[in-house]
Structure 1
Amino acid sequence: MIPEPDSAPVFLSSAALSAKIRGCLLGGALGDAAAGAAAETQSGSGMSISANTQLALYSLDGLLEAIEWANEGVGADETACVWLAYLRWMRGQGLPLPEAGPSPLPRPIDAEPLLRPEGTGAGDPDVLSALSTGEMGTRQRPLNTGVDTPAALVRSAPFGLLPYVATETVYKLALDAASLTHGHPSARHSAAVFASMVHGLLAPGATLRSAAESALAQARENGVPDFSDRLQELLADDGGTDPAGAGTAGRTPAAEEALAIGLRAALAVEDAATEDTDLSAATAAAIREAAAAGGTSAAVVAGSLLGTRYEALPDTDLEALREGSVIEKLAAGFIASTIAP
């Protein structure tokens, strides 16, 4: 399935794509940390890598493994590679792998100190319950069909970073990967729409609003017009509605609520931006607003989208995620494997 040179849209230059890939990954990690994620594994400057960011990075690593096989002329099931990556993550947290499931071979990411479990907590219980079954959920037979939380949403931006393929491919990759742990339509399609928004921002001249509208069109084509219509109302809003109305204090928002809150926060930056706008400061403010309104998941959405859109991120605690970090290593490997020099 990867790559699709004959059906792919036009994308940015290699340098611009590389910047957007890094911006997306760093923006998501900043959103996670800004929301006060449960994980407490600290880097030298105080930035944490929680289970949310860890699983997003393992999403990227699973996709990267499939690409590496493809580059060697060997076919690989992308979703299976992602599933094995999540099992490797679970093993790295000191949790036993299910007896009925496979024991995946280690990859370099597994040895990264910032992804070790000290102080990070066990991770999302629905994710762990699905992975502990030893069963690989599929789009046709997803796991946890009654769970509509945003745990799959926050790990799905990396699927949108795959260049040179059609958005429909990205949508289905993210849908399949979400189905590994979250089978509710809201959870699965929120993840797929989010990834598709990120992917749309890789096109020359794309705006966040145009990428969002394209992603919602993909949702309609994939048989969920009601879901698409609910999020389309957000895009049509003139800004007079408080995005916090989508959530309720003290509870985890549903996946589509978290997506809506994060998207609104990001769109507010784009709509207000001028040549004089300090985009780093605006991004930091949007992440805080999304976190206050919708918690970690909404902040991850806002950070990922704005990091991809503008690559302008606040410097506070950012150096801990840059040079020599697991994010930089993974980004560099992904860029080298996917983007023509």
Structure 2
Amino acid sequence: MSAGATAVWGRAEQQDFRSRVRGSLLGLALGDALGAPLEGLGPEQIRAEYGAEGLTGPAPAYGRRGAVTAATQLTLFTVDGLIRAQVRRDTGAWHPPTDLHRAYRRWSATQHDWGPDERRGEDGWLAREEWLYARRSPARACLIGLGDEAMGTLESPKNPGDDSPDAAVRSAPFGLLVGWEPQLVLQLAVECAVQTHGHPTAYLSAGAHAVIVHALARGESLDAAVQRALALLAARPGHLPVTDALQHALGAVRQGMPTAARVEELVGDGAADGMLSAAVYCALVGEDIRHGLCLAVNHGGDSSATGALTGALLGALHGETALPPAWVAGLEGRATLLELADDYAMEMTQGPALHGPGVSSPSWLARYPRG
């Protein structure tokens, strides 16, 4: 199916898709929040603070349990941008990377404004959520890359030397475009990643993560999803670090019981490829989502990033009902996450009934303006 093609959805298919969308977004936020208290701590410090097994459940960060970081904030604006790209398609001016750039610029405003500007109706509902105006350790590359109107492209990327994982972390929603062909999902994720992270390792990790989520959301196994990503990466210049990292993750599964030391080895120097490798490994070996997420965060690297990447995979694979209920109940912004997830699922399955030819829902267009 080509980009933006209309699928015929049965009721059971719609329910399954909504569960996977909710699962992926909530899972990402749970992993992000689980890792937040561990930022800046080495393995020995983690064990000294939380015991021999490390962190085994949500702990306070930013003044509360379940607090998310800029990774979740940016992911929400990715979803918002994708919905608005679909709505905007009716105008004939359809260029999703531009719509995503506008969405990321709306996130950028939350990092320096005191709160939402109610006069700016074109911003839609998400930009009016006051809790998103908290500054939660945003990556320098994101602040710089989105600090002006100029949009990074593959030909002229922003921060071409930055190979950190922040673009990959926000890329899961591209994978939830289940009506698109996987190579187009990869391309869109890459084009949006270079708006802040221009190093091939960073933007190809983002593309690979999106393709893996895409296969999972379509009902494939995690191993098959990784193989699909490897096949698509092979044609991309600069793919070897990401390809090697994914193959390393698959090989690590066969090396005995999972350990924090093995995750630490996969994470490596903290570049996007290592973080993606660790996330795939944790998702493959985790006994359940709780175990997979705890395994993903108890290391000395960017715990929020690995937690978020892992959570997005496990949530897309298993759906929302597999997530730990007590963790979900205490998650910051849960109501917003669920509302946005359901809007995304509705747009992708029933968009023509909301803003198709001869049909226009004023309330939907107020939520997701075409401007």
TM-score tier by shorter-chain length is 0.7 to 0.9
Choose from 79, 82, 98 the match for 2:100: 82
- CA–CA separation in structure 1 for the residues paired with 2:63 and 2:228: 37
Alpha-carbon deviation of 1:215?
A: 1.1
Q: Deviations over 1:77-102 (max 9, x none)?
A: 11111111111111122259xxxxxx
Q: Given that residues 245 and 277 in structure 2 are in contact (C-alpha distance below 8 angstroms), is that contact kept between their aligned partners in structure 1?
A: no
Residue in structure 1 matched with residue 310 of structure 2 by the alignment = 302
Residue in structure 1 matched with residue 170 of structure 2 by the alignment = 155
Q: Deviations over 1:143-194 (max 9, x none)?
A: 1010111111111111111121100111011001100000001100001000
Is 2:129 the partner of 1:112?
yes
Alpha-carbon deviation of 1:329?
A: 1.3
Residue in structure 1 matched with residue 62 of structure 2 by the alignment = 40
- CA–CA separation in structure 2 for the residues paired with 1:290 and 1:32: 10
- CA–CA separation in structure 2 for the residues paired with 1:202 and 1:234: 21
- CA–CA separation in structure 2 for the residues paired with 1:2 and 1:336: 17
Alpha-carbon deviation of 1:60?
A: 0.9
- CA–CA separation in structure 2 for the residues paired with 1:18 and 1:267: 23
Q: Deviations over 1:112-131 (max 9, x none)?
A: 132122xx345111110111
Structure ID, larger Rg = 2
Give the TM-score normalised by structure 1. 0.84
Q: How do residues 310-325 of structure 1 correspond to structure 2 at under 5 angstroms?
A: 310-311=318-319, 312-321=322-331, 325=335
4+ runs of 1 displaced by more than 6 Å?
A: none
Residue in structure 1 matched with residue 295 of structure 2 by the alignment = 289
Q: Deviations over 1:224-279 (max 9, x none)?
A: 4523134223213313481311335xxx710000001111000113xx6xxxxxxx
Is 2:78 the partner of 1:59?
yes
AA aligned opposite 1:244 = E
- CA–CA separation in structure 1 for the residues paired with 2:221 and 2:100: 29
- CA–CA separation in structure 2 for the residues paired with 1:91 and 1:229: 37
Structure ranking higher on relative contact order (CA contacts 8 Å, 6+ apart): 2
Residue in structure 2 matched with residue 99 of structure 1 by the alignment = none
Q: Gaps spanning 5+ residues in structure 1: where?
A: 97-102, 273-281
- CA–CA separation in structure 1 for the residues paired with 2:221 and 2:4: 24
Residue in structure 2 matched with residue 278 of structure 1 by the alignment = none
Alpha-carbon deviation of 1:140?
A: 1.6
Residue in structure 1 matched with residue 263 of structure 2 by the alignment = 243
Q: Secondary structure at the match of 1:35?
A: helix
Q: Secondary structure at the match of 1:189?
A: helix
Q: Secondary structure at the match of 1:36?
A: helix
Is 2:274 the partner of 1:257?
yes
Give the TM-score normalised by structure 2. 0.77
- CA–CA separation in structure 2 for the residues paired with 1:289 and 1:324: 23
Is 2:193 the partner of 1:171?
no
- CA–CA separation in structure 2 for the residues paired with 1:93 and 1:234: 35
The count of corresponding residues between Structure 1 and Structure 2 is 311
Residue in structure 1 matched with residue 154 of structure 2 by the alignment = 139
Residue in structure 2 matched with residue 330 of structure 1 by the alignment = 340
Q: Secondary structure at the match of 2:166?
A: coil
Q: Which moved more, 1:133-142 or 1:222-231?
A: 222-231
Give the direction of change, closer, same or farther, for the CA distance of 1:181–1:323 in structure 2 (3 Å limit).
closer
- CA–CA separation in structure 2 for the residues paired with 1:324 and 1:28: 12
Q: Secondary structure at the match of 2:185?
A: helix
Residue in structure 2 matched with residue 28 of structure 1 by the alignment = 28
Q: Secondary structure at the match of 2:122?
A: coil
AA aligned opposite 1:156 = S
Question: What is the CA RMSD across the aligned residues, in angstroms?
Answer: 2.7
- CA–CA separation in structure 1 for the residues paired with 2:18 and 2:312: 14
Alpha-carbon deviation of 1:5?
A: 5.1
AA aligned opposite 1:264 = Y
Is 2:225 the partner of 1:214?
no
**Identity %, equivalent residues:** 29
Is 2:114 the partner of 1:93?
no
- CA–CA separation in structure 2 for the residues paired with 1:150 and 1:230: 13
- CA–CA separation in structure 2 for the residues paired with 1:197 and 1:230: 14
- CA–CA separation in structure 1 for the residues paired with 2:143 and 2:332: 29
Alpha-carbon deviation of 1:67?
A: 0.8
Give the direction of change, closer, same or farther, for the CA distance of 1:49–1:247 in structure 2 (3 Å limit).
closer
